[in-house]
């Protein structure tokens, strides 16, 4: 993805990607508190994210060359955070596609409905946490990219 650097600069300036026609993907800068005892990052519903957290899951033990995600959601909203190490998230709304490197536990990527996502390029020992707006529901998933594109491109 040759435009990655420009995409990261756009996101840094605006806090928002151009991907996500239902609700734009955006960088969420979390409050971070540090002192000699260590650091603490906080995610608050109604402040940092505007959805209630119904599910939390983590990704760990990831082979460096693996691809995670590879799906879209009809309604689910998520905040993806690299709590250790780094990885790249490619987001695609059927019209626009951008990538973002997550590499700090005080920054997350908001991904709204109708966005396909791929998580790639995991560093050794990377750990990701995902905060989700609803419980697991297989009916909310797009597992086939062609089906996702068909529905995504029909959005106004």
Asked if 71 is an active-site residue, the reply is yes
Q: Catalytic one among 71, 73, 84, 104?
A: 71
DSSP E strands: which ranges in the chain? Answer: 26-29, 31-35, 38-42, 55-59, 68-73, 78-84, 87-92, 97-102, 107-111, 116-120, 127-132, 141-142
Question: What sign for the dihedral angle of Cα 117, 48, 12, 57?
Answer: negative
Q: How far apart are CA 33 and CA 90, in angstroms?
A: 29
Which of these, 66, 50, 58, 56, lies nearest to 113 by C-alpha position?
50
Going across the sheet that includes 127-132, the strands are: 26-29, 107-111, 78-84, 127-132, 55-59
Q: Is 17 helix (H, G, I), strand (E, B) or coil?
A: coil
Q: How many residues does the structure list for the chain?
A: 156
Catalytic residues: 71
């Amino acid at each position: 993805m040759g435009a990655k650097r420009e995409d990261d600069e756009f996101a840094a300036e605006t806090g928002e990607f151009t991907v996500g026609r239902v609700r734009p993907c955006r960088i969420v800068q979390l409050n971070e508190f540090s002192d000699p005892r260590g650091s603490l990052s906080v995610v608050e519903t109604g402040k940092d994210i505007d959805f209630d957290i119904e599910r939390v899951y983590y990704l760990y033990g990831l082979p460096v060359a693996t691809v995670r995600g590879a799906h879209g959601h009809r309604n689910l909203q998520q905040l993806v955070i690299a709590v250790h190490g780094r990885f790249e998230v490619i987001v695609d709304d059927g019209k626009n596609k951008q990538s973002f490197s997550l590499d700090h536990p005080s920054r997350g990527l908001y991904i709204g409905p109708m966005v396909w996502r791929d998580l790639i390029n995991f560093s050794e020992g990377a750990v990701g946490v995902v905060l989700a707006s609803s419980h697991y529901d297989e009916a909310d998933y797009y597992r086939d990219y062609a089906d996702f594109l068909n529905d995504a491109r029909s959005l106004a």
